[in-house]
Structure formats: C-alpha cells, structure tokens
Structure 1
C-alpha cells in the first residue's frame, strides 16, 4: 500500500468525521415567510423571528439610532411582483432588503437595493444603495408580542398595511397597489377575446365591490344573465348594483329571484342575505 494512498485515506476519514460530527440544532430566531395577495398583486416576505425572553427590546437589544435588520439572522427580504406605492414613493417590482432605524418617537424604514449583506451589513451598509426611506411613528399595543411578527392587515383590492410588531410596539407601513388600472386592462382584454357569462359577471362584481361605474356594472350583469341564464349570484350582485343606483324596486325584484333560486339549491347564507336586503330596501322604497 503506497504512502500516498494512506495519506489520502486518512484525510478522507478526517473530513468525513468532521461532516458527521456537525449537529443540526434549532435556531433561536426561527425563519419564516409570509405571502399576501393585494388585488392582483403579491407581496412576499422572508424574515426571522427573535424572541423577547424578558429583555427590553427597542432602546435595549435593538438600540435607538442604529440600523436594525427587522428580525434576526439574514437580512429581511421583501418581494413585490408589480409596482407599488409606499407613502407616495414608488416601489418597483423586485426584491429588496428591509431595514429599520428605530427611535423613540419615529422610525425610518429603508427599502434597500443591495440584498447580498448578511444581517444589517454592519459597516458594509451603504445608505446610497437605499431605494428610498420612509418615516413612520411607533405605537404602543395593549398586549405583549413575544416573537417579532410581521403581518398584513386592513387588506382591500388596492391597499394593505404591513405591521411590524414586537414586545409592546407596533409600526405600520401602508402599501398601495394600482389594481384599478390592472383590472380595467384585464376586463377589456377578456371582453374582447371570448367573453362568457362568467366574464361579464366577474367584471360587474369587481365594479360593484369597488363602488364605481354602476351603470356599466348593470349592463354587464344583464349580459351575464342573457348568456348564462338565471343564477342566484348573478341576481344577488344585480340587486346590489340596482340599490346603489337608487332603483330599490328593481333591487327587491332581483333579490327575490336570487332568494328563490338560492332556497331551491339550499344556499342558506344567500337566502338570509337576500331576506335582510329586501327588508332594508322595502323600508327605503317606502321612505322615498
């Protein structure tokens, strides 16, 4: 057996022992990810969740006036699949590192274009690589949040709030999406190509939910009923649109048709919703 072979064997055994000797252990600040749809857009966040463990947090283990990675371990990443707006500033589609500069009275939040840093980047962090910063005010919450939490709330077709919550502090980042422009393009595209009853219904339902262009929504619903026949949900939305237009008698008639079909199909929830609206609109009709 050659000396070279012996040396190679010994080295291989050594490196294998190192590999097998490593222990995979749970992280003190476990990683997580969240994804939220806002209209047609998606926002994704990857971050880690440190625990308070009885420590003072802001002004303590997270010092005031110094960069914070908004979590632990790797830098927190936020991904947006379309252009968005945050307090009047454009956030283009892409991936960004999210940093914070907490102070007692206000925080700066940085959307940073360099996503290669570990954690907050320390001395390698360069403010010139911020896409932009916003200023938000922290607020106290009436409960204790043990693990740092990022969560979306107050979600509409066009807006959401991203909340940063830890210990007794919450910071809110408002986000806007131009869903209306996207939807108008989508409606025009689908109605041009090969529209079905469902196409007209979904277009009308979007307009009704957004509280706009009710005359156009009513025309779409009439087309949906013409192409697809009578359904409880077509008539349900039609009744809501007619009520918005002040046509309470028409709304009552549509709601009664929706109620009858829903009752036959065992759709109890729609029966109750229609009954409630019929009663309300009968009162409004009498008052007018």
Structure 2
C-alpha cells in the first residue's frame, strides 16, 4: 500500500513539473547595428491588459523609480562609445531605470552588474537624461524598446507603451572608426576594399574627391562590375561632373545588359535621361 501511494506522489510531482504556462511579460532580446556599432537590448515586455499604466492610479505612479519593463533589470549594451545628448557613455553594458513623469521622463544608466533591478535603487547612476513625453494617438498594448531613425552614425533609443513615447538620441563616431579601417586596409587593398571605401564615403557625403579616386581604381582596373561603374556615375554626378557621369552610366548600362540585371538597366537609363537635360 505504501509503495503504491509513493508511486502516486511521484507521478503527481512529475506531471506538475511538466506544466508550462505563457509568461505574462515575455523576455525580448533585440540587436541592432548602427554604423559599425552593435546595440543589444535585453528586457521583459509587460502588457496593458486594460490597466491604467502611468499616473496617480497607474501601475507605474509618476515620479516613482521603474525598472523600465518587468522581471529582471533592463540591460543595454554598446560595442563602441556612444554620445547621448552631450554625455559620452563608454562601450559596455548598462542597466536602465526610469522615473516617468507627466510631461518628462528621467532616464538613469547604471553600470550593469546584476539582473536584480533593486540593486541599483540606492546607487548613483553614471548618467541621467531628461526626455519629453510624446503623446501617441493610438494605444500600444505591450511595452517596447527599440532602435529607430538609423543613419550611418546616429539613431534613437525608443521607449513606448500605452499612449507614450520617449526618444533618446544616440550618436556614434562612425566616420573616425571607418576612416581608420579604410586607411589601414588601403595599404594593401583589393578592388573590393576600394569599392567599399568609395561606397561609404559617397553614402556619408564626405570627401567625394577621395571617393571618386577610390572607385576609379576599381573601374579603371580589368573587368569592373556593372554596379561598381554605376557607383562611379553617381559620385561623378554629385561632384557636378555630369558629362563624365553620363559616360560612366552608359558604360554601366552596357555591363548591366550583359549581366541581364533589369534593375540596374532601369536605373542607368533613368540617370542618363536625367543628366542629359
């Protein structure tokens, strides 16, 4: 009898151990590259579920310190230094706590040490930022942190939930890091390296003369590709060298036809027409 009872207990425990339920605030891991910098955000995402979120009667009262999510501390990591407003944040990992207000938020960065957000409450943050509360026209059910407004050297860190949105401007020294890489590589570059260097300088609209010099090392070499000659035409046009740009575009057009690339055929024909006016 005892043996049967013992087996029954084991069976019940085993069944209970297999129980799986959905998380009310599921974890999220977001990775975004801005320029040459990787940003990783790890946090939990609570949902509104018909509750008042912010304010006197909300689950997050105004001017109360909030973990900025749920469960563990919200963590953000940068592979390079980042400037937020005028403050430089060194590369590394940080816990983010916030103090939502009626019109503005205070955002606190702490050197990340633990997933327990309470360990940061009595610490002095390494940086504090103030950002205005933007009212949204629609209701966002689930809390979200993401990177938006991405350029080669900047972006925004967005916090949004319910009918609010907070944006922190992020700035990276992409150009300096890229130029170091370019100069290092150019000491023994391939045509691909020259093309990549020209592509970056042209897209950044920086030092177009150097961009032209780099791309022409490729286009004047043996067997350039249609998209490389196409880039040369764009750089020439931006340098206001339209006759030369047209010559390059016609050359790219012929190469595009040989490669049977309809997209670049169309782009070259459009540019030739535009620059010939």
Task: Show the 5 A alignment for 1:8-47.
Answer: 21-22=16-17, 23-47=19-43
Secondary structure (helix, strand or coil) at the match of 2:146 reads strand
Q: Equivalent of 2:54, from 49, 52, 58? A: 58
Contact 2:93 2:112 in 1 (8 A): no
Q: Distance in 2 between matches of 1:98 and 1:228?
A: 53
Question: Is residue 231 of structure 2 the alignment partner of residue 234 of structure 1?
Answer: no
The normalised TM-score by structure 1 is 0.87
| Aligned residue in 1 for 2:205 | 211
1:193-229 deviation line (CA, Å, top 9, x unaligned): x311111111011100000111111111111123352
Q: Equivalent of 1:243, from 216, 225, 237? A: 237
Secondary structure (helix, strand or coil) at the match of 1:199 reads helix
Contact 2:94 2:111 in 1 (8 A): yes
Contact 1:77 1:115 in 2 (8 A): no
Task: Show the 5 A alignment for 1:1-288.
Answer: 21-22=16-17, 23-59=19-55, 60-118=58-116, 120-121=117-118, 125-128=121-124, 130-192=125-187, 194-283=188-277
- Which consecutive residues of structure 1, in runs of 5 or more, have no partner in the other structure? 1-9, 284-288
| Aligned residue in 1 for 2:3 | none
Change (3 A) 1:45 1:214: same
Change (3 A) 1:19 1:176: farther
Contact 2:28 2:44 in 1 (8 A): yes
- Which consecutive residues of structure 2, in runs of 5 or more, have no partner in the other structure? 1-5
